[in-house]
Structure 1
Amino acid sequence: MIHPASGFRGTRAGVTEGTGSSFESVDHGKALPRIHISYWCAKGHETRPVFIKLPEDQIPPVWDCRRCGAPASRDGQAAAAADAMDDGYKTHLEYVKERRSGQDAEDVLAGALEKLRARGVLPDELLRDT
């Protein structure tokens, strides 16, 4: 049971006004300055996240578009160039080709064909010279 004189009753995280706490400092309760930064993706969508006012070199140059998920940049040109280079999607075959060489693929295929022939699924003369 909560005691009626509990200090947590009727408060929530971030509330600073009227708490009367003893840990208040000079800046306690004042909002930090914030800025809106515009980012554009290759499709022309604008995303405007809010940042605490930081030095220019600490603001990220690329941000994900909120509408399509593509990379967005502050000028829109870099995002278009990045989107043209990589569409971000790879097929299963592309991932397999990254892990295995052409010779590995031939060995796997030959082994699979031998197993099928041993089970009697493939006739011996079919695809023998591969």
Structure 2
Amino acid sequence: MVHPSSGFRGTRAGVVAGSGSSLQSNDLSPGSLPRIRVSYWCAKGHETQPVFLKMPEEQIPRIWDCRRCGAPASRDGQAVADDPFEDGYKSHLEYVKERRSGQDAEDVLAGALEKLRARGVLPDQLLGDT
């Protein structure tokens, strides 16, 4: 499974008109900005090498998504976390459960069923409904 927050991350700069969209670190055309290639390794040993603008070390991300398996990869080569979704990702259901208690959910369901019965969409008694 690909990490849910994966996608386009990083810095794409230094592309000069006429030079194409090359982000190679050895591109030394007159209008290009200095860039560096940073290595990241996931728990499976895959190496990912995104290219960044040359910037201070603390601005370069510590964790990057592996391009082969989507798992989080770190710069030091050590296994990151066992749970790839530990970075705060929550599903819609988890957010709903934070806002509503079990009783709230029962009340919402009962209200929705009552509206459907009033419109004649559902019979008055369903199997398992008391």
TM-score range, shorter chain: 0.5 to 0.7
User: Could you say what secondary structure the match of 2:105 adopts?
Assistant: helix
- Residue in 2 that maps onto 1:98: 98
TM-score by length of 2: 0.54
AA partner of residue 50 (structure 1): V
AA partner of residue 76 (structure 2): D
Distance in structure 1 (CA, Å) of the matches to 2:38 and 2:102: 48
Shift of 1:47: 0.3
Shift of 1:112: 3.1
Once the two structures are superposed, residues 87-126 of structure 1 have per-residue CA deviations (whole angstroms, 9 ceiling, x without a partner) of: 9573x54343233222211111222343455436133896
> Compared with structure 1, are the counterparts of its residues 43 and 98 closer, same or farther at alpha carbon in structure 2 (3 Å cutoff)?
farther
Identity of aligned residues (%): 67
Higher-Rg structure is: 1
- Residue in 1 that maps onto 2:81: 80
- Greater RCO (CA < 8 Å, at least 6 residues apart): 2
- Residue in 2 that maps onto 1:13: 17
TM-score by length of 1: 0.54
Shift of 1:72: 1.6
> Compared with structure 1, are the counterparts of its residues 42 and 99 closer, same or farther at alpha carbon in structure 2 (3 Å cutoff)?
farther
Q: Give 5+ residue unaligned stretches, structure 2.
A: 1-15, 20-28
Q: Give 5+ residue unaligned stretches, structure 1.
A: 1-11, 16-27
Shift of 1:60: 1.9
Structure that is richer in helix per residue: 1
Aligned length: 104
The two structures, once aligned, show a CA RMSD in angstroms of 3.7
Shift of 1:57: 2.2
Alignment of 1:101-116 (within 5 A): 101-116=101-116
Distance in structure 2 (CA, Å) of the matches to 1:124 and 1:14: 69
